[in-house]
Amino acid sequence: MSANHSNHVVFFDTTLRDGEQSPGCSMTTQEKLTMAHALEDLGVDIIEAGFAMASEGDFAAIATITQAIRKPRIASLARAKTEDIEMAARSLQFADRARIHVFLASSDLHLEYKLKISRAQALDLCGESVRLARSLCDDVEFSPEDATRSERDYLVEMVRIAVEAGATTINMPDTVGYTTPEEYGQMFREVRERIPAIGEKGVVLSSHCHDDLGLAVANSLAAIQAGARQVECTVNGIGERAGNAAMEEIAAALYVRGDRYGVSTSIRLNQIYPASQVLGQLITFRPSPNKAVVGANAFAHESGIHQHGMLANPLCYEIMTPQLVGVDKTHLVLGKHSGRAALRHRLEQLGFTVGRDELQHVYYRFVALADRKKNIYDQDLIGLLPDAIRERRREPVAELD
């Protein structure tokens, strides 16, 4: 069975390359190594460690990571230029399993204004660069940059040439976050159908999506449904402009909706949150509180209706447990939208048993306070209690948040 038709999706993490290129995300060699260890623990299959030709620092970081990281394959990015490809190969010389990732623009916009070369020249460059990379490394990925804004017949021709030249993975990136799920999936289906050699040679198709329209994860999932068996992504979705497809969202979606996607991955889901935390410590910002899967509010509930449902059965308002992705527990946040059930639950955790009438009295005082105060702390709750309740306190039954 060819790789395209297997049910295993390979995770290609580019946090250290595409992610690091975004403002506020640059990392030293030692910081990259720390993150690489977290990615190895997470179970990613391939780590794109950098762009060797970009700087001495990038070259050093790639070389350092190849000597310290053993499980994932290590990739180095290169333009379709002889010196880039040779530099990438040198940076990977100590890797147990290496990949050279060559990219070349395929859209007329990029060819005319950025590279200033003709379509025919680009096709020649594609073949020459992939052959050179293949002579230096047995695993070569080729990316036609700006694939989603490329004329389809020309894109197919460039991919065909790359496959014939020996590319083992073809990545078709949505470089500027322009496409929609329907379009992106159709592109993968069409390329597979029009180039039989992809299936015959077991070439893996890969997606790489940016989030300019907020569709990076949706587009990545559409590509998987259309036969892509490698997905390129970053931890916390960091990356150029609005970012890359978020690794944690794709992994969680494939797990929670396994009924729909029917694919396996090597990601250790309970390492998702720890990896997110490591990255947050290394760069200048952490995920937004409302970020899916890893945001501070991802497993927090303030609404009274939600809290009551959560206490009755967490499945009412959570499609996965916090523990699945490595978060300790759900947090019921007490605020002006909270109800009696959550208030009673928290008081019991603090060691106070309250009767029905007492709860009603405390609840009215709580709501009045919550209208004036954004954050309600345990000391505030205790302060709301009548002396009679405070005097019969027992030892707290649960560890405090």
Residue 379 has pLDDT above 90, yes or no: no
Report phi then psi at 25, rounded to 5.
Answer: -115, 5
> What is residue 2's predicted lDDT score, i.e. its pLDDT?
41
265, two tokens:
């991955």
> What is residue 4's predicted lDDT score, i.e. its pLDDT?
44
Residue at 308 is within a domain: yes
Residue at 7 is within a domain: yes
189 and 333 both lie in a single domain: no
260 and 308 both lie in a single domain: no
Residue 397 has pLDDT above 70, yes or no: no
Average pLDDT of the segment spanning 374-382: 79
pLDDT band at 332 (very low <50, low <70, confident <90, very high): low
Residue 98, H or E segment: strand 98-105
Q: How far is CA 134 from CA 50, 131, 138, 165, 167, in A?
A: 19, 5, 6, 8, 7
386, two tokens:
């009548």
Residue at 73 is within a domain: yes
Question: Number of structural domains, the chain?
Answer: 2
The closest of 144, 181, 170 to 229, measured between CA atoms, is 170
Residue at 244 is within a domain: yes
Give 259-281 pLDDT, tens digit per residue: 999 999 999 999 999 999 999 99
Residue 170 has pLDDT above 70, yes or no: yes
Give 60-75 pLDDT, tens digit per residue: 999 999 999 999 999 9
Residue at 289 is within a domain: no
C-alpha–C-alpha distance, residues 356 and 352, integer Å: 13
Residue at 398 is within a domain: no
**In this structure, are residues 234 and 223 in contact, taking their beta carbons and an 8 Å threshold?**
no
The amino acid at residue 28 is T
185 and 308 both lie in a single domain: no
Residue at 373 is within a domain: yes
pLDDT band at 400 (very low <50, low <70, confident <90, very high): very low
> What is residue 401's predicted lDDT score, i.e. its pLDDT?
45
- What CATH number should be reported for the domain holding residue 191? 3.20.20.70
If one compares 401 and 386, the residue with the highest pLDDT of the two is 386
> What is residue 3's predicted lDDT score, i.e. its pLDDT?
43
167 and 306 both lie in a single domain: no
Using CA of residue 151, residue 154, residue 155, residue 156, what is the dihedral sign?
positive
**In this structure, are residues 85 and 57 in contact, taking their beta carbons and an 8 Å threshold?**
no
Average pLDDT of the segment spanning 201-209: 98
Average pLDDT of the segment spanning 121-144: 98
Residue 5 has pLDDT above 60, yes or no: no
316 and 232 both lie in a single domain: no
- Sorted by sequence, the CB contacts under 8 Å of residue 288 that are 6+ apart come out as 295
Give 292-322 pLDDT, tens digit per residue: 999 888 877 767 778 778 778 877 878 888 8
304 and 275 both lie in a single domain: no
356 and 314 both lie in a single domain: yes
Share of the chain above pLDDT 90, in %: 72
> What is residue 137's predicted lDDT score, i.e. its pLDDT?
98
24 and 160 both lie in a single domain: yes
131 and 193 both lie in a single domain: yes
> What is residue 164's predicted lDDT score, i.e. its pLDDT?
98
Average pLDDT of the segment spanning 182-186: 98
Average pLDDT of the segment spanning 22-41: 96
pLDDT band at 80 (very low <50, low <70, confident <90, very high): very high
By mean pLDDT, which of 26-30, 330-334, 363-367 is the weakest? 330-334
200 and 345 both lie in a single domain: no
- Sorted by sequence, the CB contacts under 8 Å of residue 130 that are 6+ apart come out as 102, 140, 142, 161, 162, 165, 166, 167
235 and 277 both lie in a single domain: yes
- Sorted by sequence, the CB contacts under 8 Å of residue 360 that are 6+ apart come out as 340
99, two tokens:
């990949």
Average pLDDT of the segment spanning 356-380: 86
> What is residue 215's predicted lDDT score, i.e. its pLDDT?
98
Give 138-168 pLDDT, tens digit per residue: 999 999 999 999 999 999 999 999 999 999 9
**In this structure, are residues 218 and 209 in contact, taking their beta carbons and an 8 Å threshold?**
no
57, two tokens:
């620092």
278 and 310 both lie in a single domain: no
Residue-number span of the structural domain to which 363 is assigned: 300-391
What is the DSSP code string of 211-278?
Answer: -TTS-HHHHHHHHHHTT--EEEEBGGG--STT-BPBHHHHHHHHHHTHHHH--B----GGGHHHHHHH
Residue at 293 is within a domain: no
Cα-to-chain-centroid distance, residue 175: 16
Residue 370 has pLDDT above 50, yes or no: yes
- Secondary structure of 172-215 as H, E, C letters: EEECCCCCCHHHHHHHHHHHHHHCHHHHHCCCEEEEEEECCCCC
257, two tokens:
């909706």
